[in-house]
Amino acid sequence: MKNFKFYSPTKIVFGERSVNQLGRQIAGKYKNILLHYGGGSIKKSGLYTEVMNILKEYDCEVYELSGVEPNPKLGLVREGVKLAKKKDIDLILAVGGGSVIDSAKAIGIGAMYDGDVWDYYTGDASVRGTIPLGVILTFPATGSEASMGSVITNEDGHRKLAVNHDILRPLFAIMDPLYTLTLPSKQTFAGIMDILSHIFERYFTHTKNVDLTDSLCEGTMRTVIKNAYILKKDPRNLAARSEIMLAGTIAHNGLLGMGREDDWASHGIGHEMSALYGTTHGRTLSIIFPAWMKYVYKENLDRFVQFAINVFSVSVVNKSLEQIALEGINSLITFIKDIGLPVSLEDEGLPLDKIDFMAERATEGGPLGTFKVLKKEDVIRIFNLAR
Ligand code: NZQ
Ligand code: ZN
């Protein structure tokens, strides 16, 4: 195990009707609130009205900024920064999924800076402060409700870049699984793939003696897979929705990565697909992860054998280690297909003529990953395995 720091200050308020506890999180502390949300799902579900009633009850001055798109854009962030500075916002309340939360995080740090907020994402400025952020999560997927990251797309030049800093971890996250019942199946399962991928990025490591976090990772993966199948048959199953919602936070708040070297190459490659084609984040991962696994499994066969046995219960009788490892990867591919996600660029209807360009962009800042360090040529081979 490696030495590590674990910092997860976000207060999680979880469960049915937990939105009622919004008032308690803000009472006496915040007055000028920027309510940030997406394209209208919160209005359809009734959550918007519920939140506004609470904010009125607590005499808050509410400024609204809606219209966050999936793969959130810099243009709206810049608008939010201006608004936050002008109105002296003291709390940003993000109501929605990862895109809304990431956009809110960007506004929070942008409002504390005189330059352009994009500087943080290019590495030209370092994060120093933020406006406090509260979250009401409607989509379990990215883990942004407790993570240290924000990922923003600059529509000018198709760049999708991340900034990571502990200051970006929200103050509180209200998580009511009832509000996830309105998620269309396409979103539900893309979110589930993202959750699994956050675990893969940590689980596939060369760090030795990580029994405890291995078990936590494997238990979380089994829980996600089991409940995904339940939701496939019964999308309104609230117990399964709750399990997935909790898993989404646990998968990316840092807990499962304690003491381990993590990877993140597949996320980096996927971001290039979203930047260029607007592909949904979880769908980039369902395409890239199986290809990445096929490309890297020989780097640490034992780890892939462990994955096959402990996550997919692959039988070991009369099989070589390599056969067991490959059966684990194939079980994942079966799972991805069962939940209706693409496993190839072709499945997603993506052209093949920009592979070289995406590989170049993905490795512009240096090679990707740690499990196997990937240069541009490796990324091209992974894309070719995902054709
Ligand atoms: O805009 P609205 O109308 O709200 O609709 C949204 C959106 O169209 C809809 N939706 C959300 N909750 C709903 C709902 N529809 C019905 N009922 C509900 N309860 O779902 C659509 C997608 O939402 P979005 O927020 O884009 O999805 P997600 O949560 O997957 O966020 C994706 C973004 O987060 C980044 C991704 O790269 C991508 O840009 N990530 C952020 C991370 C982080 N900050 O730690 C880590 C991740 O790895 C990821 O990179
Ligand atoms: Zn992700």
Q: Name the closest-CA residue to atom 39, ligand 1.
A: 71
CATH 3.40.50.1970 in the chain, residues? 11-179
What is the rounded average pLDDT of the residues 161-173? 98
- How far is ligand 1, taken at its centre, from the CA of residue 2, in Å? 32
Q: How confident is the model at residue 61 (pLDDT cuts 50, 70, 90)?
A: very high
Distance CA 214, CA 237 (A): 28
Write the CB contacts of 103 (distance below 8 Å, at least 6 apart in sequence).
Answer: 36, 68, 72, 76, 77, 80, 94, 150, 152
User: For 130-143, what is each residue's pLDDT tens digit?
Assistant: 999 999 999 999 99
Distance CA 241, CA 15 (A): 11
Mention the CATH class of domain 11-179: alpha beta
- How far is ligand 2, taken at its centre, from the CA of residue 282, in Å? 7
Please give the pLDDT value at position 78: 98
Which ligand is in closest contact with the Cα of 147?
1
- How far is ligand 2, taken at its centre, from the CA of residue 210, in Å? 23
CA angle 62, 52, 169 (to 5 degrees): 70
What is the rounded average pLDDT of the residues 256-277? 98
From the CB of 268, is ligand 1 less than 6 Å away?
Answer: no
Please give the pLDDT value at position 80: 98
Write the CB contacts of 246 (distance below 8 Å, at least 6 apart in sequence).
Answer: 14, 175
Given a cut of 90, whether residue 175 has pLDDT beyond it is yes
Atom of ligand 1 lying closest to residue 143 CA:
45
- How far is ligand 1, taken at its centre, from the CA of residue 99, in Å? 5
- 115, with CB counted inside 10 A (0-12, 13-18, 19+), is exposed
Measured in whole angstroms, how far is the alpha carbon of residue 286 from the centre of its chain? 13
* Neighbour count for residue 61 (Cβ, 10 Å): 14
User: For 319-359, what is each residue's pLDDT tens digit?
Assistant: 999 999 999 999 999 999 999 999 999 999 999 999 999 99
From the CB of 365, is ligand 1 less than 6 Å away?
Answer: no
Q: Name the closest-CA residue to atom 37, ligand 1.
A: 281
Distance CA 96, CA 48 (A): 10
Please give the pLDDT value at position 74: 98
User: For 17-49, what is each residue's pLDDT tens digit?
Assistant: 999 999 999 999 999 999 999 999 999 999 999
pTM assigned to the model: 0.98
* Domain 183-385 is found in CATH 1.10.275.10: no
Atom of ligand 1 lying closest to residue 148 CA:
45
Length of the chain: 387
CATH 1.20.1090.10 in the chain, residues? 183-385
Query: Cα separations (Å) of 124 from 117, 269, 305, 355?
Result: 10, 22, 42, 28
Please give the pLDDT value at position 157: 84
- With beta carbons less than 8 A apart as the criterion, state whether 295 and 368 touch: no
From the CB of 98, is ligand 1 less than 6 Å away?
Answer: yes
Residues 319-333 as b or e (16 or more Cβ within 10 Å = b):
eeeeebbbbbbbbbe
